[in-house]
Amino acid sequence: MTLRACAATDHNSRGRRHAEPDPGDRTQHQRDRDRIIHCGAFRRLEYKTQVFVNHEGDMFRTRLTHSLEVAQICRSVARSLGLNEDLAEAISLSHDLGHTPFGHAGQDALNACMSAYGGFEHNVQSLRIVDTLEQRYPAFSGINLTFETREGILKHCTAEIAAKLGDVGERFLSGQQPSLEAQLTNLADEIAYNSHDLDDGLRAGMLSFAQLTAESAFFRAHHDAVGREFGTLASRVGQHEIIRRIIKAQIVDLRETSAARLGAAAVGSLDEVRQCGGPLIAFSDRMRADNDLLKGILNRSVYQHYRVRRMTSRARRVVTDLFTIFLDDPQLLPPESLVAVEQREQAHGRRGRARAVADYVAGMTDRYALAQHAALFGSVPD
Protein backbone atom coordinates (compact mmCIF):
# COMPACT_ATOMS: atom_id res chain seq x y z
CA MET A 1 0.00 0.00 0.00
CA THR A 2 1.29 3.47 -0.94
CA LEU A 3 1.21 5.96 1.90
CA ARG A 4 0.63 9.69 1.58
CA ALA A 5 3.79 11.77 1.59
CA CYS A 6 2.59 13.36 4.83
CA ALA A 7 2.09 10.02 6.64
CA ALA A 8 4.51 8.95 9.35
CA THR A 9 7.00 6.30 8.20
CA ASP A 10 10.29 4.73 9.24
CA HIS A 11 12.05 7.28 7.01
CA ASN A 12 10.69 10.39 8.69
CA SER A 13 10.52 8.93 12.21
CA ARG A 14 12.32 10.78 15.00
CA GLY A 15 13.43 7.42 16.32
CA ARG A 16 13.61 5.97 19.82
CA ARG A 17 15.00 7.31 23.06
CA HIS A 18 17.55 4.47 23.09
CA ALA A 19 19.17 3.34 19.85
CA GLU A 20 18.43 -0.24 18.84
CA PRO A 21 19.21 -2.49 15.86
CA ASP A 22 16.80 -2.34 12.92
CA PRO A 23 13.66 -4.47 13.52
CA GLY A 24 14.38 -6.58 10.43
CA ASP A 25 11.23 -7.82 8.71
CA ARG A 26 8.98 -5.44 10.68
CA THR A 27 8.57 -1.70 10.45
CA GLN A 28 9.47 0.43 13.45
CA HIS A 29 5.82 1.01 14.25
CA GLN A 30 4.99 -2.69 13.93
CA ARG A 31 7.65 -3.26 16.56
CA ASP A 32 5.94 -0.64 18.75
CA ARG A 33 2.59 -2.39 18.39
CA ASP A 34 4.07 -5.78 19.25
CA ARG A 35 5.81 -4.43 22.35
CA ILE A 36 2.60 -2.80 23.57
CA ILE A 37 0.60 -6.02 23.18
CA HIS A 38 3.19 -7.97 25.19
CA CYS A 39 3.53 -5.50 28.07
CA GLY A 40 1.93 -6.10 31.45
CA ALA A 41 -0.01 -2.84 31.49
CA PHE A 42 -1.83 -3.86 28.30
CA ARG A 43 -2.90 -7.22 29.74
CA ARG A 44 -4.26 -5.53 32.86
CA LEU A 45 -6.66 -3.45 30.74
CA GLU A 46 -8.87 -6.56 30.57
CA TYR A 47 -9.86 -5.99 34.18
CA LYS A 48 -10.14 -2.20 34.22
CA THR A 49 -13.43 -0.34 34.08
CA GLN A 50 -14.71 1.50 31.04
CA VAL A 51 -18.03 2.70 32.53
CA PHE A 52 -19.28 -0.31 34.48
CA VAL A 53 -17.05 -1.88 37.14
CA ASN A 54 -15.57 -5.05 35.68
CA HIS A 55 -17.37 -7.52 37.93
CA GLU A 56 -20.80 -5.91 37.34
CA GLY A 57 -21.29 -7.94 34.15
CA ASP A 58 -19.22 -9.94 31.71
CA MET A 59 -20.80 -8.35 28.63
CA PHE A 60 -19.86 -4.74 29.37
CA ARG A 61 -16.81 -3.12 27.78
CA THR A 62 -13.48 -2.93 29.55
CA ARG A 63 -10.46 -0.75 28.78
CA LEU A 64 -9.06 -3.64 26.76
CA THR A 65 -12.11 -4.16 24.56
CA HIS A 66 -12.35 -0.39 24.12
CA SER A 67 -8.72 -0.20 22.99
CA LEU A 68 -9.27 -3.03 20.50
CA GLU A 69 -12.34 -1.30 19.08
CA VAL A 70 -10.38 1.95 18.66
CA ALA A 71 -7.58 0.04 16.91
CA GLN A 72 -10.04 -1.58 14.49
CA ILE A 73 -11.55 1.76 13.53
CA CYS A 74 -8.10 3.34 13.21
CA ARG A 75 -6.75 0.67 10.90
CA SER A 76 -9.77 0.90 8.64
CA VAL A 77 -9.71 4.68 8.28
CA ALA A 78 -5.91 4.89 8.10
CA ARG A 79 -5.86 2.48 5.18
CA SER A 80 -8.52 4.39 3.28
CA LEU A 81 -6.68 7.69 3.80
CA GLY A 82 -3.22 6.35 2.94
CA LEU A 83 -1.88 6.73 6.47
CA ASN A 84 0.35 4.46 8.55
CA GLU A 85 -1.94 1.69 9.84
CA ASP A 86 0.70 0.24 12.16
CA LEU A 87 1.33 3.56 13.90
CA ALA A 88 -2.39 4.25 14.23
CA GLU A 89 -2.88 0.80 15.76
CA ALA A 90 0.06 1.22 18.15
CA ILE A 91 -1.30 4.54 19.45
CA SER A 92 -4.79 3.04 19.79
CA LEU A 93 -3.59 0.07 21.82
CA SER A 94 -1.46 2.19 24.16
CA HIS A 95 -3.57 5.32 24.66
CA ASP A 96 -5.31 3.99 27.80
CA LEU A 97 -2.43 2.13 29.45
CA GLY A 98 -2.24 4.69 32.24
CA HIS A 99 -5.86 4.47 33.34
CA THR A 100 -6.45 3.69 36.99
CA PRO A 101 -8.85 1.02 38.24
CA PHE A 102 -12.50 2.11 38.12
CA GLY A 103 -12.14 4.41 35.11
CA HIS A 104 -12.49 8.17 35.44
CA ALA A 105 -13.68 7.87 39.04
CA GLY A 106 -10.37 6.26 39.97
CA GLN A 107 -8.42 8.90 38.07
CA ASP A 108 -10.30 11.74 39.77
CA ALA A 109 -9.64 10.22 43.19
CA LEU A 110 -5.95 9.64 42.50
CA ASN A 111 -5.58 13.15 41.06
CA ALA A 112 -7.07 14.56 44.27
CA CYS A 113 -4.71 12.44 46.37
CA MET A 114 -1.76 13.70 44.31
CA SER A 115 -2.83 17.36 44.29
CA ALA A 116 0.09 18.38 46.53
CA TYR A 117 2.57 16.26 44.55
CA GLY A 118 2.01 17.21 40.91
CA GLY A 119 -1.39 15.65 40.26
CA PHE A 120 -2.27 12.57 38.25
CA GLU A 121 -3.38 12.41 34.59
CA HIS A 122 -3.85 9.15 32.72
CA ASN A 123 -2.32 10.36 29.43
CA VAL A 124 0.90 11.31 31.22
CA GLN A 125 0.76 8.04 33.17
CA SER A 126 0.50 6.08 29.90
CA LEU A 127 3.69 7.79 28.78
CA ARG A 128 5.39 6.99 32.12
CA ILE A 129 4.48 3.35 31.64
CA VAL A 130 6.04 3.00 28.19
CA ASP A 131 9.02 5.24 29.00
CA THR A 132 9.90 4.06 32.51
CA LEU A 133 7.62 1.76 34.48
CA GLU A 134 7.50 -1.35 32.28
CA GLN A 135 10.62 -3.39 33.05
CA ARG A 136 11.23 -5.91 30.26
CA TYR A 137 14.60 -5.12 28.71
CA PRO A 138 18.07 -5.17 30.31
CA ALA A 139 19.35 -2.23 28.26
CA PHE A 140 16.73 0.35 29.24
CA SER A 141 13.63 1.07 31.32
CA GLY A 142 10.25 1.14 29.61
CA ILE A 143 9.61 -0.41 26.22
CA ASN A 144 11.44 2.25 24.16
CA LEU A 145 8.73 3.18 21.67
CA THR A 146 9.24 5.52 18.73
CA PHE A 147 8.68 9.24 19.14
CA GLU A 148 5.55 9.07 16.94
CA THR A 149 3.80 6.49 19.13
CA ARG A 150 4.79 8.31 22.32
CA GLU A 151 3.55 11.58 20.86
CA GLY A 152 0.21 10.02 19.98
CA ILE A 153 -0.26 8.62 23.49
CA LEU A 154 -0.13 12.15 24.88
CA LYS A 155 -3.50 13.41 23.71
CA HIS A 156 -3.48 16.51 25.93
CA CYS A 157 -1.55 18.00 28.84
CA THR A 158 -0.97 21.33 30.52
CA ALA A 159 1.88 23.64 29.54
CA GLU A 160 3.42 23.10 32.98
CA ILE A 161 3.56 19.34 32.48
CA ALA A 162 4.55 19.63 28.81
CA ALA A 163 7.61 21.66 29.76
CA LYS A 164 8.88 18.68 31.78
CA LEU A 165 8.30 16.06 29.09
CA GLY A 166 11.03 16.97 26.63
CA ASP A 167 10.47 16.13 22.97
CA VAL A 168 6.89 14.86 23.21
CA GLY A 169 5.80 17.92 25.17
CA GLU A 170 7.14 20.47 22.69
CA ARG A 171 4.04 20.66 20.51
CA PHE A 172 1.87 21.77 23.42
CA LEU A 173 4.20 24.73 23.95
CA SER A 174 4.75 25.63 20.28
CA GLY A 175 1.18 25.08 19.06
CA GLN A 176 2.16 22.39 16.56
CA GLN A 177 -0.02 19.47 15.53
CA PRO A 178 0.74 15.76 16.08
CA SER A 179 0.94 13.27 13.22
CA LEU A 180 -2.17 12.51 11.18
CA GLU A 181 -2.22 9.05 12.75
CA ALA A 182 -2.37 10.58 16.23
CA GLN A 183 -5.16 12.93 15.13
CA LEU A 184 -7.05 9.95 13.72
CA THR A 185 -6.72 8.00 16.97
CA ASN A 186 -8.27 10.87 18.94
CA LEU A 187 -11.45 10.72 16.85
CA ALA A 188 -11.55 6.93 16.54
CA ASP A 189 -11.47 6.91 20.36
CA GLU A 190 -14.53 9.17 20.34
CA ILE A 191 -16.41 6.99 17.85
CA ALA A 192 -15.68 3.88 19.90
CA TYR A 193 -16.66 5.18 23.31
CA ASN A 194 -19.78 7.03 22.14
CA SER A 195 -21.02 3.96 20.30
CA HIS A 196 -20.17 1.30 22.87
CA ASP A 197 -21.44 3.43 25.76
CA LEU A 198 -24.75 3.68 23.88
CA ASP A 199 -24.72 -0.09 23.49
CA ASP A 200 -23.81 -0.75 27.13
CA GLY A 201 -26.29 1.87 28.35
CA LEU A 202 -29.10 0.20 26.44
CA ARG A 203 -28.01 -3.23 27.68
CA ALA A 204 -28.00 -1.97 31.28
CA GLY A 205 -31.46 -0.42 30.94
CA MET A 206 -30.21 3.12 31.52
CA LEU A 207 -31.20 4.16 28.01
CA SER A 208 -34.17 3.20 25.82
CA PHE A 209 -34.97 3.40 22.13
CA ALA A 210 -37.87 5.71 22.99
CA GLN A 211 -35.61 8.17 24.77
CA LEU A 212 -32.88 8.11 22.13
CA THR A 213 -35.24 8.53 19.17
CA ALA A 214 -36.91 11.45 20.97
CA GLU A 215 -33.67 13.22 21.89
CA SER A 216 -31.33 12.47 18.95
CA ALA A 217 -32.29 12.94 15.30
CA PHE A 218 -29.08 11.08 14.40
CA PHE A 219 -30.09 7.99 16.40
CA ARG A 220 -33.70 8.25 15.19
CA ALA A 221 -32.63 8.27 11.52
CA HIS A 222 -30.77 4.98 11.89
CA HIS A 223 -33.43 3.47 14.14
CA ASP A 224 -36.15 4.24 11.60
CA ALA A 225 -34.05 3.04 8.66
CA VAL A 226 -33.54 -0.34 10.36
CA GLY A 227 -37.29 -0.57 11.03
CA ARG A 228 -38.18 0.18 7.41
CA GLU A 229 -35.70 -2.38 6.08
CA PHE A 230 -36.23 -5.25 8.51
CA GLY A 231 -39.47 -4.59 10.35
CA THR A 232 -39.62 -5.78 13.95
CA LEU A 233 -36.38 -7.40 15.10
CA ALA A 234 -35.36 -9.08 18.33
CA SER A 235 -34.23 -6.28 20.63
CA ARG A 236 -30.56 -7.27 20.75
CA VAL A 237 -30.36 -7.81 16.97
CA GLY A 238 -32.05 -4.50 16.29
CA GLN A 239 -29.83 -2.72 18.79
CA HIS A 240 -26.71 -4.20 17.22
CA GLU A 241 -27.81 -3.15 13.73
CA ILE A 242 -28.55 0.43 14.81
CA ILE A 243 -25.22 0.81 16.61
CA ARG A 244 -23.39 -0.74 13.66
CA ARG A 245 -24.93 1.84 11.32
CA ILE A 246 -24.09 4.68 13.69
CA ILE A 247 -20.46 3.57 13.78
CA LYS A 248 -20.37 3.28 9.99
CA ALA A 249 -21.91 6.73 9.50
CA GLN A 250 -19.28 8.29 11.77
CA ILE A 251 -16.44 6.47 10.02
CA VAL A 252 -17.67 7.49 6.57
CA ASP A 253 -18.04 11.11 7.67
CA LEU A 254 -14.58 11.12 9.26
CA ARG A 255 -12.97 9.58 6.18
CA GLU A 256 -14.68 11.89 3.68
CA THR A 257 -14.23 15.08 5.70
CA SER A 258 -10.58 14.32 6.42
CA ALA A 259 -9.84 13.45 2.79
CA ALA A 260 -11.32 16.79 1.70
CA ARG A 261 -9.31 18.71 4.32
CA LEU A 262 -6.10 16.95 3.36
CA GLY A 263 -6.73 17.75 -0.29
CA ALA A 264 -7.42 21.41 0.43
CA ALA A 265 -4.37 21.78 2.68
CA ALA A 266 -2.11 20.07 0.12
CA VAL A 267 0.40 19.06 2.79
CA GLY A 268 3.41 17.30 1.33
CA SER A 269 5.27 16.13 4.41
CA LEU A 270 4.88 15.25 8.07
CA ASP A 271 6.65 18.50 8.97
CA GLU A 272 3.97 20.44 7.07
CA VAL A 273 1.27 18.57 8.99
CA ARG A 274 2.89 19.69 12.24
CA GLN A 275 2.91 23.31 11.11
CA CYS A 276 -0.79 23.42 10.24
CA GLY A 277 -2.83 25.76 12.43
CA GLY A 278 -5.30 23.02 13.36
CA PRO A 279 -6.02 19.31 12.91
CA LEU A 280 -6.61 17.96 9.40
CA ILE A 281 -8.41 14.81 10.56
CA ALA A 282 -11.90 15.88 11.56
CA PHE A 283 -15.65 15.29 11.48
CA SER A 284 -17.99 17.50 9.48
CA ASP A 285 -19.75 20.22 11.47
CA ARG A 286 -22.98 18.24 11.30
CA MET A 287 -21.40 15.03 12.63
CA ARG A 288 -19.59 16.98 15.34
CA ALA A 289 -22.95 18.37 16.49
CA ASP A 290 -24.57 14.92 16.38
CA ASN A 291 -21.74 13.42 18.43
CA ASP A 292 -21.81 16.22 20.98
CA LEU A 293 -25.56 15.68 21.43
CA LEU A 294 -25.01 11.95 22.03
CA LYS A 295 -22.30 12.77 24.58
CA GLY A 296 -24.78 14.96 26.43
CA ILE A 297 -27.37 12.17 26.51
CA LEU A 298 -24.78 9.67 27.74
CA ASN A 299 -23.61 12.06 30.44
CA ARG A 300 -27.10 12.68 31.77
CA SER A 301 -28.52 9.18 31.47
CA VAL A 302 -25.53 6.84 31.87
CA TYR A 303 -22.54 8.51 33.52
CA GLN A 304 -24.78 10.34 36.02
CA HIS A 305 -27.17 7.41 36.53
CA TYR A 306 -27.55 6.57 40.20
CA ARG A 307 -26.20 3.04 39.70
CA VAL A 308 -23.05 4.35 38.04
CA ARG A 309 -22.70 7.10 40.63
CA ARG A 310 -22.93 4.53 43.41
CA MET A 311 -20.19 2.49 41.78
CA THR A 312 -17.99 5.52 41.23
CA SER A 313 -18.53 6.75 44.78
CA ARG A 314 -17.29 3.43 46.13
CA ALA A 315 -14.42 3.47 43.65
CA ARG A 316 -13.21 6.88 44.79
CA ARG A 317 -13.15 5.74 48.39
CA VAL A 318 -11.28 2.53 47.56
CA VAL A 319 -8.58 4.40 45.60
CA THR A 320 -8.30 7.15 48.22
CA ASP A 321 -8.04 4.65 51.07
CA LEU A 322 -5.35 2.61 49.29
CA PHE A 323 -3.26 5.63 48.34
CA THR A 324 -3.48 7.09 51.85
CA ILE A 325 -2.52 3.92 53.73
CA PHE A 326 0.41 3.11 51.40
CA LEU A 327 1.70 6.69 51.51
CA ASP A 328 1.56 6.70 55.32
CA ASP A 329 3.08 3.22 55.68
CA PRO A 330 4.96 1.96 52.60
CA GLN A 331 5.98 -1.16 54.55
CA LEU A 332 2.51 -2.49 53.70
CA LEU A 333 3.54 -2.69 50.04
CA PRO A 334 4.86 -5.86 48.35
CA PRO A 335 8.71 -5.97 48.40
CA GLU A 336 9.25 -4.99 44.75
CA SER A 337 6.90 -2.02 45.05
CA LEU A 338 8.45 -1.00 48.36
CA VAL A 339 11.88 -0.84 46.69
CA ALA A 340 10.46 1.46 44.00
CA VAL A 341 8.93 3.73 46.65
CA GLU A 342 12.15 3.90 48.64
CA GLN A 343 14.22 4.67 45.55
CA ARG A 344 11.88 7.45 44.45
CA GLU A 345 11.77 8.88 47.97
CA GLN A 346 15.55 8.89 48.21
CA ALA A 347 15.80 10.79 44.93
CA HIS A 348 12.82 13.15 45.27
CA GLY A 349 11.68 13.14 48.91
CA ARG A 350 8.03 12.97 49.90
CA ARG A 351 6.98 13.91 46.35
CA GLY A 352 8.87 10.90 45.01
CA ARG A 353 7.26 8.60 47.56
CA ALA A 354 3.80 9.83 46.56
CA ARG A 355 4.49 9.36 42.85
CA ALA A 356 5.68 5.78 43.36
CA VAL A 357 2.62 4.98 45.48
CA ALA A 358 0.40 6.49 42.76
CA ASP A 359 2.15 4.31 40.17
CA TYR A 360 1.35 1.23 42.26
CA VAL A 361 -2.31 2.12 42.82
CA ALA A 362 -2.84 3.21 39.21
CA GLY A 363 -1.51 -0.12 37.97
CA MET A 364 -4.14 -2.12 39.86
CA THR A 365 -7.06 -3.80 38.16
CA ASP A 366 -10.55 -3.27 39.57
CA ARG A 367 -10.68 -6.64 41.27
CA TYR A 368 -7.16 -6.41 42.67
CA ALA A 369 -7.92 -2.98 44.16
CA LEU A 370 -11.09 -4.37 45.77
CA ALA A 371 -9.18 -7.37 47.14
CA GLN A 372 -6.40 -5.17 48.52
CA HIS A 373 -8.93 -2.87 50.15
CA ALA A 374 -10.71 -5.82 51.75
CA ALA A 375 -7.40 -7.23 53.03
CA LEU A 376 -6.35 -3.92 54.55
CA PHE A 377 -9.66 -2.50 55.75
CA GLY A 378 -11.84 -5.58 56.16
CA SER A 379 -14.61 -4.50 53.81
CA VAL A 380 -15.41 -2.52 50.69
CA PRO A 381 -17.23 0.77 51.43
CA ASP A 382 -20.94 0.84 50.61
The structural domains of the chain, ordered by start, are 28-307 (1.10.3210.10), 310-377 (no CATH)
Give the pLDDT of residue 234. 66
Low-confidence ranges of the chain (pLDDT < 70): 50-60, 234, 379-382
Give the pLDDT of residue 50. 66
Nearest alpha carbon to residue 146 among 330, 18, 1: 18
Nearest alpha carbon to residue 83 among 218, 220, 183: 183
Give the pLDDT of residue 52. 52
Give the pLDDT of residue 309. 87
Give the pLDDT of residue 381. 59
Give the pLDDT of residue 331. 97
Name 369's Cβ contacts closer than 8 Å, sequence gap at least 6. 101, 102, 106, 318, 319, 322, 361
Give the pLDDT of residue 34. 97
Give the pLDDT of residue 380. 60
Q: Partners of 146 in the beta sheet?
A: 16
For the chain, what percent of residues have pLDDT higher than 70?
96
What is this structure's pTM? 0.93
What Å distances lie between residue 104 and 117, 173, 361, CA to CA?
A: 19, 26, 14
What Å distances lie between residue 188 and 9, 49, 248, 254, 361, CA to CA?
A: 20, 19, 12, 9, 28
Give the pLDDT of residue 55. 46
